[in-house]
Amino acid sequence: MTQTPVLSVRNLVVEIPTRHGVLRPVDHVSYDIHAGEILGVVGESGAGKSMAGNAVIGLLDRPARIASGEILLSGQPIHALKGDTIRRLRGKKMGMIFQDPLTSLNPLLTVGDQLTETILEHLRVGQTEARKRAIAALEEVGIPAAAQRISSYPHEFSGGMRQRVVIALALCAEPDLVIADEPTTALDVSVQAQIVALLKRLCRDRGVAVMLVTHDMGVIAEAADRVAVMYAGRLAELGPVREVLTNARHPYTAGLMASTPLASQGRKRLRQIPGSMPRLGALPSGCAFHPRCEFAQEQCRNEPGPTLDRCDGRAACWFPLTTDQKVSA
Amino acid sequence: MSALISVRDLTRVFDVSKPWLNRVIERRPKALLTAVSEVSFDVPENSVYALVGESGSGKSTIGKIMVGLVPPSNGSVKIEGVDLATETDQSKIEAVRDDIQMIFQDPFASLNPRWRVRDIIEEPVSAKGRRTSGLAEKLLEQVGLSAADAGKYPHEFSGGQRQRICIARALASEPRIIVCDEPTSALDVSVQSQVLNLMSDLREELGLTYLFISHDLTVVQHMADVIGVLYLGRLVEEAPRDRLFNEPKHPYTQMLFDAAPRMDAFGREIDPPKGEIPDAINPPPGCAFHPRCPLATDRCRTENPEMRNIGTTRVACHHAQ
Amino acid sequence: MTDSAETRAPAATNRARRIWDSDFVWSFRQTPVAIISFFVVMVLVLAAVVAPLIAPHDPFNPATLNLMNGFTPPGEPNAFTGDQFLLGTDDQGRDVFSTILYGMRISLFVGFAAVMLAMVIGVTLGLLAGYLGGWVESIIMRVADVQLTFPAILVAMLIFGIAKGITPPEYRDQMAIWVLILAIGLSDWVQFARVVRGATLVEKGKEYVQAARLIGRSPFAIMLRHILPNVLNPVLVIATISLALAIIAEATLSFLGVGAPPTKPSLGTLIRIGQEFMFSGEWWILFFPALALLSLALSINLLGDWLRDALNPRLR
């Protein structure tokens, strides 16, 4: 595919200077997302997946900052943009969906006001046209009686409906890229399914590129086309979702998949990965995963950071798993 | 095996009305939220009974009623034959309080940040004036931490470790029953497996009985012996684990299984469930699920289905077979 | 395992090391304003505490006073007696430096005691209101609301007036300090109660409180041992700033004549005395007590500001 990817992250490094040293919540991460594609970014808490999303959209909280690397939006570098320029870009070309629908919406403005505000800001239309588009956006995300509900306040909607409004808000300015940070985590199972289906349909129909950040592997399996697995700020594995989830090459991914209850059906004990993910201030030498890896060798301890491009391009591991190697009990 | 826990027609109603003055001015009626409605089930000794449901199902409320944090509005919960809400004999109440403990969902809020781990773990015993030397250290080792951790503060531990400390605290009074309210929902997948394994091991070692409350079907499938499915405060289906997952009878259970995200469901296009969980203050008449149910008929709109037996399953539906 | 002295000593220095390295102390070390304010407060408090030892003269012993020494400018020898006084003397020949030292004692004592009183009342009522809820909370909060509608100084004056009315005249001077403490303390408890009530409501919903209730602990045990330690952070900040305000409140009351009497003056009383002579040329009688009050109140305030930022969990 020679089409320029909508989002291209190249060797992104985000640093947070603290009094105990410099932390790297994102350490040389690279991935591309093409139009109409959903990239799942999965990892446990503290792995850096949200931080990477925040860096892309330019919402890093001080003192976190982009230390090096590039972020290209449709070929244009955006990582060095500041202030007004990035703000305009943010609403127009990038939409964001946060985890908590209650705090993502301004409780003092009606849903209609928030939608029209965004539309007027980024599209060249008049008031009436903006209102029409707002109603259309609400209908598209499945809010019944959109023409009446447009004057309602966020607290008058249920959790699932609110998240739909947030999706409408993210898409109303017709962005090229949408970053969804744990969009279904705070929702019930049945509502989750609805939101995931909605997200998939809208993004495919409009050709929007989506970065779906979550810790829920099931959502990734259903929604994503490709998946990036993050560990301790680094990219552990990147590839098509079916491939990565069923034939993981990185021992961490394999361990993660094996430890889910679904994978241990019929067994009394779940498989578990010993230990826990190291804190960013106390990373081990060499490969960040080696202390917990049953396949670790000398090189893993000594040689600094395996990355995707220095290994086989799919897993950041000196000894990626072959199909007959399985993670043991 | 006699039932260790016996729940009969348990009902709990919360008055969430606005203050009287507001109601008069705005001319609103009283708002009563029925969190739990006529729920009955038994938990045999040395088993794991799971309560599954989404928000508003009442599962957490049932757990709280069981340990005595919330009194029931109607019905009863008998633990070892003792009803905590109505019992007057102090010694019986004390005995039951020792025998039932709880593990909570949020590992960060369930430990007092100003107390040392040792004091936290020993509190169930030290608060009754009994001797506790070495108890914390022993329990820490039992849950997979080290005795040296007893002198530390909660903030020095990760989420999974804190949950282990909660488990240690729950074990301090040598209980027979532990109510687990979403114990792994706030934990990452890899930590979840460690904690669940610990809970299974302890159950075998100490002969415990668990009431396991969760919304995560995969976890429940791994841990539970019998599962009860709740919807808007009512028990709609109860069955042994394998039977429930292989032959769910109630339309809601079937919908739940279809909707749950699965790891082997790559790119599947499912028909997502319709509608949302209705308002618990004004539930739909008749069967609470009828607005979303593909099998709904007029009878469902007016008549609330009773629990009936289909083989080893108990189900509350007019049309299930 | 024997606990020999050798193994204990490193543990002690270890603990000191850990405190020194903690975020709280580090933040202190990084903030010059905090260090300076702390230093100033320490010096002033120390000076007040050891006043009897370092004051060159006892300003309240009539036997040592020489009226002829009155109105001596600072640093210059007196025209009549040749005595020198560091900061000059007032109209009665009292050494201003000594009066300030003794005055600060009164001011600090009243300030501390009043804040302590307000804190005890406020924290207790706030805990009860937050945890017990219901009519207890309603009553306490309404009383608090009513009290807030009155300016604190007026409330203090009211209490003072009542006290004056019921004490026999010969005890009035003696009782003045205690009445001051009562007055300022009673007018100040509301902010503690409100903050503690809010914090208690937050803590009450947390699972560790539910765990304690599960075990069967009494509400009082839970309030005292579980909730109280967790609501003290904001209390500390408010207490520090309240201290500065209490000192100023005391100064105001004394200035208005309803506080510390001239026989046992506080800084406020001294300022009142000095005010009469400000425009007749004896500026030092007003200036130095005012300067002392300003330094004290300002440093405590700045320390309180730093404390609020240092204890703010969001900024950690």
Average pLDDT over residues B86-109: 88
pLDDT of B168 > 90? The answer is yes
Of B67, B106, B128, the CB nearest to C207: B106
- Chain C partners of B101 at a C-beta cutoff of 8 Å? 214
Residue A52 near residue A41 (C-beta atoms within 8 A):
yes
pTM of the model: 0.85
pLDDT at C5: 42
Cβ neighbors of B205 (< 8 A, separation 6 or more) are none
**Average pLDDT in the B70-82 region?**
90
DSSP A27: E
CA C289 remoteness from chain centre: 17
Task: Identify the band that residue C11 occupies on the pLDDT scale cut at 50, 70 and 90.
Answer: low
Of all residues in chain C, the one with the smallest CA distance to B106 is: C207
Q: Which residues of B touch C215 (CB under 8 A)?
A: 97, 123-124, 127, 173
A193 near B CB under 8 A? yes
Give the confidence band of B226 by pLDDT, cuts at 50, 70, 90: very high
Count Cβ atoms below 10 Å from residue C224 Cβ, excluding itself.
13
Percent of chain B with pLDDT over 70: 98
**CA-based diameter of chain C, in Å?**
80
Does ipTM exceed 0.85? yes
Q: In the prediction, which pLDDT does C6 show?
A: 38
Whether residue A255 lies within 8 A of chain B, CB to CB, comes out as yes
Q: How confident is the model over B13-44, as pLDDT tens digits?
A: 988 877 777 777 777 777 888 899 999 999 99
Segment B73-93 shows an average pLDDT of 87
Specify whether the CB–CB gap between B304 and B54 falls below 8 A. Answer: no
Give mean pLDDT, residues C48-60: 79
Task: Give the pLDDT score at A328.
Answer: 62
CB contact under 8 A, A197 and B272: yes
Contact B109 C215 (CB under 8 A): no
pLDDT of residue A261: 83
CA-CA distances (angstroms) from residue B86 to B11, B12, B62, B95, B221?
15, 15, 17, 15, 35
Q: Is the pLDDT of residue B198 over 90?
A: yes
Confidence of residue C10 (pLDDT cuts 50, 70, 90): low
Average model confidence (pLDDT) across chain A: 85
DSSP lists the bridge partners of residue B212 as B50, B180
* pLDDT for the residue B72: 92
Residue to substitute from B108, B189, B198, interface A, most A β-carbons within 10 A: B189
Q: Whole-angstrom Cα distance, residue B250 to residue B320?
A: 6
> A63 preceded by cis ω (within 30°)?
yes
Does residue C23 surpass a pLDDT of 50?
Answer: yes
Q: In B, residues 29-68, which contact A (CB 8 Å cutoff)?
A: 54-55
Q: What is the pLDDT of residue C212?
A: 93
State the chains in contact with A (3 or more Cβ–Cβ pairs under 8 Å). B
Of the ranges A98-102, B281-285, C15-19, C115-119, the best mean pLDDT one: C115-119
Interface contacts B/C by beta carbons within 8 Å? 50
Asked if A12 and A55 count as a contact pair (C-beta separation under 8 A), the reply is: yes
User: How far, in Å, CA of C100 to CA of C96, rounded?
Assistant: 6
**Percent of chain A scoring above 90 in pLDDT:** 9
Q: CA neighbours within 13 Å on the CB side: how many for A141?
A: 27
Sign of the CA dihedral running C129, C130, C134, C139: positive
Quote the CA–CA distance of C121 and C143 in Å, as a whole number: 13
Residue with tokens 């306490």: C140
List CB contacts (< 8 A) between A264 and chain B. Answer: 193, 222
What are the strands of the beta sheet with A76-77, ordered from one edge? A21-33, A7-18, A65-73, A76-77
Asked if B218's CB is within 8 angstroms of A190's CB, the reply is no
| Gap between the Cα atoms of A211 and A170, Å rounded | 13
pLDDT in tens, A243-282: 888 888 898 998 888 888 877 777 778 888 888 888 888 8
| pLDDT band of C12, cuts 50, 70, 90 | low
The model's pLDDT over C163-218, given as tens digits with 9 standing for 90+, comes to 878 877 777 777 788 888 888 888 889 999 999 999 999 999 899 999 999 888 89
> Each residue of A115-166: pLDDT tens digit?
998 888 888 888 899 999 899 888 888 888 888 888 888 888 888 888 889 9
pLDDT over threshold 60, residue A329: no
User: Would an 8 Å CB–CB cutoff place B270 in contact with chain A?
Assistant: yes
For B214, half-sphere exposure in the C-beta direction (CA atoms, 13 angstrom radius) is 25
The mean pLDDT value for A63-86 works out to 83
Which is higher by pLDDT, C70 or A7?
A7
Task: Specify the higher pLDDT residue, A91 or A5.
Answer: A5
Structure tokens at B39: 């729920």
CB atoms within 10 A of CB C140: 20
Task: Write out residues 74-113 of B within 8 Å (CB-CB) of A.
Answer: none
pLDDT for residue B180: 95
Residue written as tokens 């070309």?
A93
Contact A255 B190 (CB under 8 A): yes
Q: What's residue C316's pLDDT?
A: 42
CB contacts, 8 Å: A45 with chain B: 159, 188
How far is A189 from B276, CA to CA, in rounded Å? 11
Contact with chain B for residue A282, Cβ under 8 A: no
The set of chains that have 3 or more CB pairs under 8 A with B is A, C
Residues 216-245 in A contacting B (C-alpha not used; CB under 8 Å): 216-219, 221-222, 225, 241-242, 245
- Token couple for B238: 């109860």
The side-by-side arrangement of strands in the sheet containing B82-83 is B32-44, B3-15, B74-79, B82-83
